[in-house]
Amino acid sequence: MKDKKYIEKSYYFIFDEGYFYRPWGNFALKEKLNKKIPDNEPIGEAWLISDREEFQSTVLEGPFKGEKINELIKKFPEFIFGTEKTSPFPKRFPLLLKLIDANELLSVQVHPDDEKSRELGESDSGKTEMWYILDAKPNSFLYIGLKKNIKKQHLIKEIENKGDIDRLLNKIYVKPGEHYLIPAGTVHAIGPGILLAEVQQNSNVTYRLFDWNRIDLTGKPRTLHLEKAMQSIKEENFLIKAKKVEIKHLFGVEKYLCSCPYFTVKHWKIDKICKIWDKNYCFHIILSLDTTHISIYDNEIKLLKGEAILIPAQSCCNVVFRKGTFLDYYQI
């Protein structure tokens, strides 16, 4: 059994990835990001960092090669989450990082917030998420929220009457490099021709409102969850497309993309050798957007586009970035 002394030699964690077939999936993960997925199977989701029964991330290299992320959380909570954390250490990793590749329009859905999830008897928390558009075909779009003056009752009635729900939803045309925060309670759907990175609360509670009359592999329509969705939808007008806050440094550019109670996301473009963290307050997940070069003590790490790394809180002060463009996810 590995002793705790080995944690001193493991400054970061690179995990395997889980690939999931979806009826609306595509092949961009292989074609654009060189993921090792089947040639003939449309993969809709790649789970890069996951602490769930559906997929447990496994360490690929280093002293803890072969260990699951949930085992690391139990053994080394202070190392991963930081000694500055005042609240109890989480029992599982609090975030889930995915890549989503949509060839077709995804179902219209909504996620409950934490309180509503408890009220509805779910075992998971609520689910707030954030999307970063990696690639998008011309005229690709998202549905985020209801149009002005549209109530959730209008949407449910339209669905039950098999009407035109497109006219009730807020449709947003997107381009690569844009980002969108999707608070729990927001009706949403991802449109075709989009490859995006999604960070979310570690929850799988999804209430499907409408699936465009698709059928599953058994030839049946997918189940809808109208009653629970009705209770979960929030009609407030949220700030959907967050304004970027940009800071220019001598070594590159730092952009704040979004912040919510569950995660903060930054975009970094590094041109010269630098340190960007001087405290060990929290873990950081790095998702590379091109080729990113990182040094941690005598470890030289190269992340290709679409690859992720988990840097524990107590390693952060020792991380040197040499060059690259990446998303930085963390939880204070």
Task: Give the active site residues.
Answer: 208
SS3 50: coil
In DSSP notation, 102-151 reads: ESSPPPEEE---HHHHHHTT-SS----EEEEEEEE-TT-EEEEEEPTT--
d(CA 237, CA 174): 19
Q: What is the DSSP letter of 219?
A: S
Closest to 92 in 3D by CA, of 237, 210, 202, 220:
202
- CA 100, 105, 106, 112 dihedral sign is positive
Q: How many angstroms separate the first and last alpha carbons of the chain?
A: 32
Closest to 210 in 3D by CA, of 188, 238, 232, 233:
188
Specify whether the backbone of 201 is left (phi greater than 0), alpha (psi in -120 to 50) or beta.
Answer: beta
d(CA 23, CA 42): 7
Q: How do beta strands 292-296 and 252-259 pair?
A: unpaired
In DSSP notation, 144-177 reads: EEEPTT--HHHHHHHHHTT---GGGEEEEE--TT
d(CA 52, CA 49): 10
Closest to 47 in 3D by CA, of 13, 16, 18, 14:
18
